[in-house]
Amino acid sequence: MTTDNEPLQDVKQEPVRLSGILVHPTSFPSPYGIGDMGKGAYDFIDFLKATSQHLWQVLPLGPTGFGDSPYQGFSAFAGQPLIISPEKLMELKLLSEDDFWDMPQWDPRKTDYGSAIQFKTRLLRTAFQTFHHTPDKALLEEFERFCEKESDWLDDYCLFMAGKDYHEGRCWLEWEDDLRMPTPEVKKIWKEKLADEIQYYQFVQFMFQKQWMELRDYAHENDVEIIGDIPIFVALDSSDVWANNKLFQLDTKGYPTSVAGVPPDYFSATGQLWGNPLYDWEYHETTGYEWWISRIRRQLSMVDYLRIDHFRGFEAYWSVPADEETAINGSWIKGPCEKLFLAIQKQLGEDLPILAEDLGIITAEVEQLRDRFHFPGMKVLQFGFGDLEDHNYIPHFYTTDNCICYTGTHDNDTTTGWYQIQPEKVKDRIRRYGNTSGHNISLDFIRFCFASIARYAIFPIQDLFELGSDARMNTPGVATANWNFRYLAEDLTEARKNWLLQTTKLYDRD
pLDDT band at 9 (very low <50, low <70, confident <90, very high): low
Average pLDDT of the chain?
Answer: 95
pLDDT per position as a tens digit, 14-62: 779 999 999 999 999 999 999 999 999 999 999 999 999 999 999 999 9
- Domain residue extents for the chain: 379-473
DSSP state, residue 482: -
pLDDT band at 12 (very low <50, low <70, confident <90, very high): low
To 10 degrees, the CA torsion angle through 67, 73, 79, 80?
0
DSSP state, residue 414: P
Q: Report the Cα 201 to chain-centroid distance in Å.
A: 21
pLDDT per position as a tens digit, 313-322: 999 999 999 9
- Could you give the angle at the alpha carbon of 461 between the alpha carbons of 62 and 475, nearest 5°? 60
pLDDT at 2: 44
pLDDT per position as a tens digit, 115-155: 999 999 999 999 999 999 999 999 999 999 999 999 999 99
User: Which pTM value belongs to this model?
Assistant: 0.95
Query: Residue 504 class from Cβ within 10 Å (0-12 exposed, 13-18 middle, 19+ buried)?
Result: buried
Q: Calculate mean pLDDT across residues 369-390.
A: 93
Catalytic residues: 309, 357, 411
Q: Calculate mean pLDDT across residues 422-428.
A: 96
- Could you give the angle at the alpha carbon of 435 between the alpha carbons of 432 and 437, nearest 5°? 90
- Cα separation, 36 vs 23, in Å, equals 12
Q: Calculate mean pLDDT across residues 433-461.
A: 98
Q: Calculate mean pLDDT across residues 325-334.
A: 95
204's CB contacts (< 8 A; 6+ apart) are 81, 84, 124, 128
Q: Calculate mean pLDDT across residues 174-188.
A: 94
pLDDT band at 497 (very low <50, low <70, confident <90, very high): very high
Judge whether residue 338 has pLDDT over 60.
yes
Q: Which of 389, 379, 502, 391 is nearest to 452 (CA)?
A: 379
pLDDT at 10: 53
DSSP state, residue 248: B
Judge whether residue 271 has pLDDT over 50.
yes
Q: Calculate mean pLDDT across residues 473-489.
A: 92
Question: For 395, phi and psi rounded to 5 degrees?
Answer: -55, -40
pLDDT at 489: 98
Judge whether residue 11 has pLDDT over 80.
no
- Cα separation, 26 vs 81, in Å, equals 11
pLDDT at 8: 47
Q: Which of 385, 419, 379, 383 is nearest to 401 (CA)?
A: 379
Amino acid letter, residue 345: Q
pLDDT at 269: 84
Decide: 238 and 295 in contact? Cβ < 8 Å: no
Q: Calculate mean pLDDT across residues 153-160.
A: 98
pLDDT band at 390 (very low <50, low <70, confident <90, very high): confident
pLDDT per position as a tens digit, 91-115: 999 999 999 998 999 999 999 999 9
Q: Calculate mean pLDDT across residues 214-227.
A: 98
Judge whether residue 207 has pLDDT over 70.
yes
Judge whether residue 3 has pLDDT over 60.
no
